[in-house]
A = this chain, B = another copy of it.
């Protein structure tokens, strides 16, 4: 029997200009063949199975949107940004336009399931590094058609503003996700004026800047970003769920490495039973018939969910107890405070946990999570937002605004503490 799917790339030559319905942005037009082909590729299709906001759907039931949609949306905004800049007289060749669109489309392709949570738990490599590995692999597959896209993505291309459209304080990533996350969570206040911001784009000295008239829209963007951080991304119940997930995976990995029998889906199994270094990803170390990168690129949210569902009945009471909590949304109580949790407090709570729940002080740490969350809406070290006035002068957004943005540049740090709701710790 012949394999069906190999034939496709060759045979589907026609009609790669497609229109896709996007609830946030309306109709998205795919305008070039390579963009269509990238979207069709299994590595990109995998993003359909990775939620954009991880476990946030446990607080915002509508937040089931995927990284697939976000990547499409960001590529759509990229096309608008290109038009806006061209209208102001800046040259962007069609090859550059295609490349920068491909770069934003693929910027998240290396994301682990449940977002950032799993980095440093399951794998010890950042998603940006994996994105680049996968882009290189796709580039090989498509015969070098992504050369320019990769140069832009890695900021090695001469026109530096193209990289800024992909990665900077005003990149298409942020412009898309703020509105998208606001749309699906129902936190309407997070909405920003994307269309207007893009119309205000300009280029000065090979840098992406904003026309002076756009100052208030940028202020609004920064404030919305800040609001979304506190109200959604760092929502204390979301923090609680994510901490729980980390502890579950830690315990599972521990058991697995200790050689205990532990259920898991095939792709997750590989990452539970092994510790891979970045080198294993880059050098294509083989495990059970596939490279590490291959295994990674078939791992998605469902692997985690299914495994946790099954762990509810595991004989290890720590694992089963935590798994039940997450699967059935019996989340831990979270306390936020402005100073770090002291050792004394931790010790006191661990004692209560031992007394009330585990009966074994060695296990109690799994029922207490502490950590810090930080938020700064405008990180000036990370490339400033520059404002161009009518006379051609350039200013940093902080100077240009008559509002004190220092506050927005300051990193706000909060410390959290999660423990089972039934504990009486006061």
Interface residues of A in 315-346 (CB under 8 A from B): 317-318, 321, 324-325, 327-330
- Interface residue count on the A side (C-beta < 8 Å): 95
CB atoms of B65 and A72 under 8 A apart: no
CB atoms of B1 and A357 under 8 A apart: yes
CB atoms of A227 and B231 under 8 A apart: no
In the complex, how many angstroms separate the beta carbon of A74 from the nearest chain B beta carbon?
Answer: 13
Interface membership of chain A positions 58-74, coded 1 if the CB is closer than 8 angstroms to chain B and 0 otherwise: 10111011101100100
Give chain B residues whose Cβ lies under 8 Å from the Cβ of A226: 216, 219, 403
In the complex, how many angstroms separate the beta carbon of A19 from the nearest chain B beta carbon?
Answer: 7
The one of B191, B227, B357 that contacts A191, using a Cβ cutoff of 8 Å = B191
In the complex, how many angstroms separate the beta carbon of A351 from the nearest chain B beta carbon?
Answer: 15
In the complex, how many angstroms separate the beta carbon of A224 from the nearest chain B beta carbon?
Answer: 7
Give chain B residues whose Cβ lies under 8 Å from the Cβ of A357: 1-2, 4
CB atoms of B61 and A48 under 8 A apart: yes
Give chain B residues whose Cβ lies under 8 Å from the Cβ of A317: 1, 3
Interface residues of A in 183-234 (CB under 8 A from B): 183-189, 191-193, 195-196, 199, 216-217, 219-220, 223-224, 226-227, 230-231
Give chain B residues whose Cβ lies under 8 Å from the Cβ of A321: 1, 3-5
A303 at the interface (CB under 8 A from B): yes
How far, in angstroms, from A227 to B217 measured CA to CA in the complex?
Answer: 8
A356 at the interface (CB under 8 A from B): yes
| Interface-centre pick from A4, A49, A298, A310 (highest chain B CB count, 10 A) | A4
A94 at the interface (CB under 8 A from B): no
Closest to A298 in B: B309
In the complex, how many angstroms separate the beta carbon of A46 from the nearest chain B beta carbon?
Answer: 9
Q: Could you say which of A23-31, A161-169, A249-257 contacts chain B?
A: A23-31
A12 at the interface (CB under 8 A from B): yes
Closest to A215 in B: B230
Closest to A420 in B: B4
How far, in angstroms, from A3 to B62 measured CA to CA in the complex?
Answer: 31
CB atoms of B265 and A45 under 8 A apart: no
In the complex, how many angstroms separate the beta carbon of A189 from the nearest chain B beta carbon?
Answer: 4
CB atoms of A61 and B57 under 8 A apart: no
The one of B21, B199, B405, B410 that contacts A27, using a Cβ cutoff of 8 Å = B199
Identical subunits present = 4
The one of B188, B231, B403 that contacts A408, using a Cβ cutoff of 8 Å = B403
The one of B64, B192, B302 that contacts A305, using a Cβ cutoff of 8 Å = B302
Give chain B residues whose Cβ lies under 8 Å from the Cβ of A305: 49, 302
In the complex, how many angstroms separate the beta carbon of A221 from the nearest chain B beta carbon?
Answer: 9
| Interface-centre pick from A7, A402, A410 (highest chain B CB count, 10 A) | A402
Give chain B residues whose Cβ lies under 8 Å from the Cβ of A185: 21, 23
Interface membership of chain A positions 289-324, coded 1 if the CB is closer than 8 angstroms to chain B and 0 otherwise: 000000000101011011001100000011001001
CB atoms of A220 and B217 under 8 A apart: no
CB atoms of B183 and A188 under 8 A apart: no
Q: Could you say which of A132-140, A358-366, A379-387 contacts chain B?
A: A358-366
| Interface-centre pick from A5, A45, A49, A57 (highest chain B CB count, 10 A) | A5
How far, in angstroms, from A327 to B3 measured CA to CA in the complex?
Answer: 15
Closest to A310 in B: B266
A263 at the interface (CB under 8 A from B): yes
29 contacts between A and B (CB under 8 A): A1-B318, A1-B360, A2-B356, A3-B317, A4-B325, A4-B422, A19-B199, A21-B185, A21-B186, A22-B61, A22-B62, A23-B183, A23-B184, A24-B62, A42-B328, A45-B328, A45-B329, A62-B69, A189-B191, A216-B226, A216-B227, A217-B227, A265-B265, A265-B306, A266-B310, A302-B305, A402-B407, A403-B407, A404-B406
